Amino acid sequence: MIQVKRTHLYWLLQSFGWSAYIGLILFASINSKGFYLNSSFLINLVFSFFLGILFSHLLKIRVLSMGLLKLNGIRDFLKTILLLITISLFYVISTKIISIIVSWSFVNIGVLSFIINWSSYLLLFAFWLTLYYVYFLFEQNRRQEIDNLALKAFQSELELHNLRSQLNPHFLFNALNAIRALIEVDPKKSKEAVTLLSNMLRFSLSTSYDRLISLENELQMVDSYLRLEKIRFEQRLDIKKEINDDLKSFNIPAFTIQTLIENAIKHGISKLIEGGEISIRVDLDREHVLIQVANSGIFGNEIDLGISLSNLKKRLELEYGNNYTFSIYQADMVFVEIRIPTNR
């Protein structure tokens, strides 16, 4: 489709360019003294128009077939000059033959007059080829930019897939640790935990190739995980949620909230003898969606994101570029906040 549009544009520009040239000749001739407009002159102009399109197109075909557009060295430059000389010479000869046929008379043309006439057309075709060179360079740069963007997108997609594939072992390791802690203490609850884990794995596999998933689906995964952890921690874990229902169909990178929850439990709740609270908030914040996970506890002066949060930050960067924020701060709880744009 794009190629067809370019072809149409090429012929449109060809027609416009040669029409403009013929129009200038007609305007100059009419305004010259002693000029008499006749049918033979007009017929010659019509033939000059079509011959101009024909020979300039032949020039383009030869330049492309000879690989002269890149102008690799003086040799290609000389070949281009020779081609211009040949094309312009054949154009002048063709127009003179048409002129003789139309007027039914042979006009003796001096050598100097012929050379001047031919030189003017040589410059005209050189100008045409220069314009085509400029278009070629522009198109080449545009295609290179598109190829670079496509390559970058492919690399980003591949990197996202690799980062995503690292999540499943990490998540599975945390979940199995939770179940292992239950087996000896409460076998009945451990069976329930295995059922929850199987549901989580099923969900994980069903979304393994999805870069983005709805907030609703993400929260279903989080609920299963929190139920699993609730079995493990019992009264030591309190969960609070504040979810904007209007955002449930909004797409976010898979495992975003899940990663924050795992991190909050591993580095926060599990280190507190009395346990603590995990708070989940998802809401609109102007032109961004705010995802906030807070947990009881404190962190030191140096913040170590670890593998999971570093992985998440990299995925967010690949997905949103610089149009997101990621922050960790201490208030009455440890807060991790992510803001991602509502429009991309």
Domain residues of the chain, as ranges?
2-108, 160-341
Q: What angle do CA 223, 224, 230 make, to 5 degrees?
A: 85
Quick one: average pLDDT of 169-185?
70
Sorting pLDDT into bands at 50, 70 and 90, what band is 146? confident
What's the mean pLDDT when you consider all of the chain? Answer: 82
- pLDDT of 54: 92
Residue 162 near residue 317, CB atoms below 8 Å: no
Sheet strand arrangement including 237-243: 237-243, 276-285, 288-295, 334-341, 325-330
- pLDDT of 238: 92
Least confident among 145-149, 193-197, 294-298, 333-337: 145-149
Report d(CA 219, CA 208) in Å as an integer: 16
Report d(CA 59, CA 136) in Å as an integer: 14
Query: Quick check: 222 pLDDT over 80?
Result: yes
Residue 87 near residue 58, CB atoms below 8 Å: yes
Residue 239 near residue 219, CB atoms below 8 Å: no
**Most confidently modeled range among 44-53, 70-79, 162-171:** 44-53
- pLDDT of 115: 83
Sorting pLDDT into bands at 50, 70 and 90, what band is 291? very high
Query: Quick check: 150 pLDDT over 80?
Result: no
Long-range contacts of 298-302 (CB under 8 A, 24+ apart): 298/330, 298/334, 299/267, 299/328, 299/330, 299/334
Report d(CA 241, CA 219) in Å as an integer: 10
pTM equals 0.53
- Percent of the chain with pLDDT strictly greater than 90: 21
Q: Which CATH architecture has domain 160-341?
A: 2-Layer Sandwich (3.30)
- Percent of the chain with pLDDT strictly greater than 70: 83
Residue 117 near residue 92, CB atoms below 8 Å: yes
Sorting pLDDT into bands at 50, 70 and 90, what band is 250? very high
Sorting pLDDT into bands at 50, 70 and 90, what band is 98? confident
Here the tokens at position 254 are: 């898979």
